[in-house]
């Protein structure tokens, strides 16, 4: 019985401590969003040329996270009618799975973001890029290094409000997943991190797969991307504004591979246009200038069209310093003529580019040599077959 008062005092202290912690957590839950909101909005004003604002912030202490609601980033000139960036929800939190690998890292989930690139007649009416200081702001908003990043149901737009007609090209349903960005899993590979992305583009689909080393001092990656069966007629506003013609039918696909390391890059882009029809005599009969120009475009398209495949294609290789890669114009023309008259390019990725090919120098050939490469290869194969028969 003598110990009863002492036990009561201990219980009372314990209740006081627990109660104080509970009150502190409740106070933090109530007060922290207010200070975080002011802090985030202040940081968004530090991006050169832009100003940002967040409407609300929620804090979830139990999972070490805070959620930014309704964020937008606008050009300070006020002459661009759409924000450079906006998103409904951005969730920043601790990645608990990485704790099992001995790392404290963060993850970001961005829901329904919209990115608007705008072309205008002046710098004040355009927004095509953003200064590098935005990465400094992001670092300040995340207390730990970023290891996982996702985008759900995003959109990317290219707009021109000053062209005739106005242009608005967009990719929708953008899904992006970037994993192991700080190599929290301790993967012993040259390219330990992965990035995958997909989007819908005018009846077509775009896909990207990339392996990267985000901790390397220079860009180090191996990637491939493809855009398949985009409906060209959905680009008619763009074609009319910048090319003064439109398409009656046709699809375009594009394939790209690239690899980079030690400030060097190598790769190719392979666009393929199928079933293209440009001239519409019924619609353009009253506009003789446009009709004449469309006839020229249509004639060139017919000339360069590979008749058996009904497609126009070329392959543009690039190599050199990553800041200024060399693209050979004559090689592009040669591949275009080769596709038109000799051999149709196959609509797929070639799987011919990786980190090991970055240091290799492509053999320099004359224009005719590049055009007739396919023909020579076919002749060599036929000679081998004849020798085998003998």
Q: Are residues 76 and 163 in the same domain?
A: yes
Quick count: other Cβ atoms within 10 Å of Cβ 357?
Answer: 15
Quick count: other Cβ atoms within 10 Å of Cβ 380?
Answer: 10
Q: Are residues 167 and 21 in the same domain?
A: yes
Q: Report if residue 139 sits inside a domain.
A: yes
Q: Are residues 244 and 152 in the same domain?
A: no
Q: Report if residue 117 sits inside a domain.
A: yes
Q: Report if residue 362 sits inside a domain.
A: yes
Domain finish residue from 155, 188, 221 = 188
Mean pLDDT split into 10-residue runs, the chain, 390 residues? 63 64 59 82 86 89 84 89 94 79 85 93 86 70 85 94 92 95 82 94 93 88 91 87 81 87 86 73 50 45 47 71 64 47 51 75 42 45 52
Give which of 55, 63, 54, 65 is closest to 32, Cα–Cα.
65
Plot region of 262 (φ>0 → left; ψ -120 to 50 → alpha; else → beta)? left
**pLDDT, position 348:** 57
Helices 288-304, 329-341: inter-axial angle, 10-degree rounding: 80
**pLDDT, position 240:** 84
Q: Are residues 149 and 291 in the same domain?
A: no
Q: Report if residue 224 sits inside a domain.
A: no
Q: Report if residue 202 sits inside a domain.
A: no
Find the length of the chain.
390
Helices 133-141, 4-44: inter-axial angle, 10-degree rounding: 170
**pTM of this prediction?**
0.73
**pLDDT, position 33:** 78
**pLDDT, position 115:** 93
Token output for 303: 């000339």
**pLDDT, position 83:** 94
Token output for 56: 């609300």
Quick count: other Cβ atoms within 10 Å of Cβ 141?
Answer: 17
Q: Are residues 269 and 169 in the same domain?
A: no
Q: Are residues 256 and 368 in the same domain?
A: yes
Q: Are residues 44 and 166 in the same domain?
A: yes
**pLDDT, position 114:** 96
Cα-based angle 152, 81, 70 (whole degrees, multiple of 5): 35
Q: Are residues 164 and 57 in the same domain?
A: yes
Q: Are residues 263 and 377 in the same domain?
A: yes
Q: Are residues 244 and 379 in the same domain?
A: yes
Cα separation, 111 vs 67, whole angstroms: 11
Q: Report if residue 159 sits inside a domain.
A: yes
Number of domains in the chain: 2
Q: Are residues 262 and 338 in the same domain?
A: yes
Range of the domain at 320: 230-390
**Residue whose pair of structure tokens reads 């580019």 in the numeric block:** 353
**pLDDT, position 15:** 63
Q: Report if residue 302 sits inside a domain.
A: yes
Cα separation, 241 vs 281, whole angstroms: 19
Q: Are residues 180 and 237 in the same domain?
A: no
Alpha-helical segments (H) within 203-328: 236-243, 281-284, 288-304
Quick count: other Cβ atoms within 10 Å of Cβ 372?
Answer: 20
Q: Report if residue 5 sits inside a domain.
A: no
């Amino acid at each position: 019985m003598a110990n009863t008062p002492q036990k009561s005092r201990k219980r009372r202290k314990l209740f006081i401590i627990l109660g104080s912690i509970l009150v502190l957590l409740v106070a933090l839950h109530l007060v922290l969003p207010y200070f975080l909101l002011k802090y985030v909005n202040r940081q968004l004003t530090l991006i050169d040329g832009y100003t940002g604002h967040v409407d609300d912030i929620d804090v979830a202490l139990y999972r070490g996270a805070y959620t930014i609601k309704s964020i937008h980033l606008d050009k300070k000139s006020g002459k661009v009618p759409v924000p450079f960036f906006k998103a409904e929800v951005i969730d920043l939190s601790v990645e608990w799975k990485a704790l099992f690998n001995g790392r404290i890292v963060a993850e970001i989930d961005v829901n329904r973001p919209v990115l608007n690139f705008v072309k205008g007649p002046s710098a004040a009416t355009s927004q095509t890029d953003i200064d590098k200081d935005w990465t400094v702001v992001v670092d300040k908003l995340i207390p730990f290094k970023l290891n996982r990043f996702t985008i759900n149901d995003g959109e990317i737009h290219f707009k021109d409000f000053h062209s005739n007609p106005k242009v608005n090209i967009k990719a929708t349903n953008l899904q992006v997943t970037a994993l192991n960005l700080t190599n929290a899993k301790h993967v012993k590979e040259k390219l330990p991190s992965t990035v995958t992305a997909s989007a819908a583009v005018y009846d077509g689909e775009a896909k990207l797969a990339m392996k990267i080393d985000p901790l390397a001092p220079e860009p180090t990656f191996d990637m491939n991307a493809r855009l398949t069966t985009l409906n060209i007629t959905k680009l008619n506003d763009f074609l009319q504004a910048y090319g003064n013609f439109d398409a009656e039918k046709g699809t375009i696909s594009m394939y790209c591979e690239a690899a980079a390391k030690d400030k060097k890059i190598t790769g190719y882009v392979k666009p393929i246009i199928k079933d293209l029809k440009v001239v519409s005599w019924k619609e353009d009969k009253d506009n003789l200038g446009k009709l004449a120009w469309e006839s020229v475009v249509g004639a060139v398209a017919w000339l360069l069209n590979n008749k058996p495949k009904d497609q126009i294609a070329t392959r543009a290789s690039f190599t050199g310093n990553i800041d200024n890669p060399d693209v050979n114009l004559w090689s592009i023309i040669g591949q275009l003529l080769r596709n038109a008259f000799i051999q149709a390019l196959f609509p797929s990725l070639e799987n011919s580019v990786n980190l090991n090919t970055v240091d290799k120098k492509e053999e320099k050939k004359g224009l005719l040599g590049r055009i007739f490469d396919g023909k020579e290869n076919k002749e060599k194969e036929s000679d081998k077959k004849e020798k085998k028969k003998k």
